[in-house]
């Protein structure tokens, strides 16, 4: 009798163990549907998976952004991220039929590619350059912005951006087009840009806003000048930051939505869909409307308007 009871007990334990193992696989798959970071093991990352299908199955588009780059992307007093790039991202997600979640890696991490599935897309004002095109897919240009120079408002030495910046200490965002420009390495859509500045002391920062803050400390205290997107400099001035824009724009940046060529899932259908959405947003006036909302009525989605603004 005892032996029979023991056999029954062992059999019951084996059944419980088997059920527990089966439940673990179901939980993992369910986690993938929820859009949680750890749940991707249920569907994402397996050879042959389609990125667009994975995103739609999860119901979430994960997008990277720099929350210290207004008016493109910044944190409101409520803590919510807002800006032109944020609205564009939300519209892309809406047209895909999914929600959106934001992550905030460094800009260098975005432009280096090999995201390992940590995010799906970057609507982050990324300039389209040949080096970046080696590791990233780009959408058609969704807007343009003039790259401009600012100095401290008390500065009187720098009047001309083409002649007065030689040897100056200039703050730029690390690994961005402004740093490439000063290093004479900037190529945009087949055109190589020759820097007008000789022997600059290039000071790279994690983001443009940090460089602007250092420039605001005083003329020559930490920096002599900053190069950034004109709307970012203009917004800083509107917020009483003691800087001023000098001269004309150094160059015009065509900016695209970036997607990782080394995505764990096949990104081709996703890239095609995003490209189609950007074209639709141009055609139906959505990008124009969003640009005017965030850039004081200026339509930076159109090249001619962007040139005129600079």
With CA atoms as reference, report the closest residue to 303 among 232, 238, 249. Answer: 249
In a domain, 52, yes or no: yes
Shared-domain flag, residues 128 and 85: yes
In a domain, 242, yes or no: yes
In a domain, 53, yes or no: yes
For residue 307, what pLDDT is reported?
87
In this structure, the dihedral spanned by the alpha carbons of residues 234, 175, 299 and 68, taken in order and rounded to 10 degrees, is -50
Shared-domain flag, residues 240 and 194: yes
Residue 151 is part of a domain; what is its CATH number?
3.40.190.10
In a domain, 307, yes or no: no
Shared-domain flag, residues 59 and 70: yes
Shared-domain flag, residues 217 and 80: no
For residue 48, what pLDDT is reported?
61
Shared-domain flag, residues 186 and 230: yes
For residue 14, what pLDDT is reported?
39
In a domain, 304, yes or no: no
With CA atoms as reference, report the closest residue to 259 among 157, 130, 155, 119. Answer: 119
In a domain, 17, yes or no: no
Shared-domain flag, residues 235 and 166: yes
Q: How many residues does the chain have?
A: 310
With CA atoms as reference, report the closest residue to 169 among 215, 207, 209. Answer: 215
Shared-domain flag, residues 178 and 213: yes
For residue 273, what pLDDT is reported?
98
Q: Residue 308: pLDDT band by 50, 70, 90 thresholds? A: confident
In a domain, 207, yes or no: yes
Which domain range does residue 205 map to? 146-253
For the segment 95-117, the average pLDDT, to the nearest whole number, is 96
pLDDT, averaged across the chain: 87
Cα angle at 41 between 50 and 29, to 5 degrees? 90
Shared-domain flag, residues 189 and 249: yes
For residue 131, what pLDDT is reported?
94
Shared-domain flag, residues 238 and 266: no
For the segment 274-301, the average pLDDT, to the nearest whole number, is 97
In the three-class reduction of DSSP (H, G, I as helix; E, B as strand; rest coil), residue 304 is classed as helix
Shared-domain flag, residues 124 and 162: no
Shared-domain flag, residues 59 and 197: no
Residues contacting 76, CB < 8 A, separation 6+: 82
Give pLDDT tens digits for 80-105: 999 999 999 999 999 999 999 999 99
Domain count, the chain: 2
Is the pLDDT at 117 greater than 90? The verdict is: yes
For residue 2, what pLDDT is reported?
39
pTM assigned to the model: 0.81
For residue 41, what pLDDT is reported?
31
Q: Residue 179: pLDDT band by 50, 70, 90 thresholds? A: very high
Is the pLDDT at 55 greater than 70? The verdict is: yes
Handedness of CA 274, 280, 283, 286 (dihedral sign): negative
C-alpha–C-alpha distance, residues 93 and 101, integer Å: 10
Q: Residue 255: pLDDT band by 50, 70, 90 thresholds? A: very high
Q: Residue 193: pLDDT band by 50, 70, 90 thresholds? A: very high
Q: Residue 310: pLDDT band by 50, 70, 90 thresholds? A: confident
For residue 197, what pLDDT is reported?
96
Give pLDDT tens digits for 200-233: 999 999 999 999 999 999 999 999 999 999 999 9
- Tokens 């002599």 locate to 224
C-alpha–C-alpha distance, residues 164 and 167, integer Å: 9
Distances (CA, A) of 132 to 44, 111, 174, 242: 25, 6, 14, 34
For the segment 50-60, the average pLDDT, to the nearest whole number, is 97
For residue 22, what pLDDT is reported?
35
């Amino acid at each position: 009798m005892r032996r029979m009871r023991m056999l029954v007990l062992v059999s019951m334990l084996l059944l419980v163990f088997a059920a527990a193992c089966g439940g673990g696989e179901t939980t993992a798959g369910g986690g993938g549907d929820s859009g949680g970071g750890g749940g991707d093991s249920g569907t994402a990352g397996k050879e042959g998976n389609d990125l667009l299908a994975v995103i739609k199955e999860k119901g979430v588009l994960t997008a990277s952004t720099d929350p210290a780059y207004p008016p493109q992307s910044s944190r409101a007093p409520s803590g919510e991220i807002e800006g032109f790039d944020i609205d564009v991202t939300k519209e892309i997600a809406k047209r895909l039929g999914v929600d959106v979640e934001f992550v905030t890696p460094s800009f260098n991490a975005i432009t280096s590619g090999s995201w390992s599935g940590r995010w799906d897309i970057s609507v982050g004002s990324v300039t389209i350059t040949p080096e970046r095109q080696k590791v990233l897919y780009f959408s058609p240009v969704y807007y343009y912005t003039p790259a401009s120079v600012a100095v401290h408002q008390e500065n009187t030495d720098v009047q001309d951006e083409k002649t007065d910046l030689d040897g100056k200490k200039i703050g730029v965002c690390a690994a961005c087009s402004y740093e490439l420009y000063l290093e004479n390495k900037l190529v945009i859509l087949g055109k190589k840009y020759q820097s007008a500045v000789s022997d600059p002391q290039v000071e790279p920062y994690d983001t443009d806003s940090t460089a602007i803050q250092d420039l605001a400390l005083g003329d020559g205290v930490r920096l002599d000048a900053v190069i950034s997107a004109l709307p970012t400099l203009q917004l800083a001035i509107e917020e009483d930051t003691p800087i001023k824009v000098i001269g004309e724009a150094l160059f015009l940046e065509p900016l695209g939505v970036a997607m990782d060529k080394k995505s764990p899932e096949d990104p081709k259908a996703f890239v095609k869909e995003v490209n189609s959405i950007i074209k639709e947003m141009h055609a139906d006036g959505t990008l124009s409307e969003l640009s005017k909302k965030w850039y004081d009525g200026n339509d930076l989605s159109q090249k001619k308007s962007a040139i005129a603004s600079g």
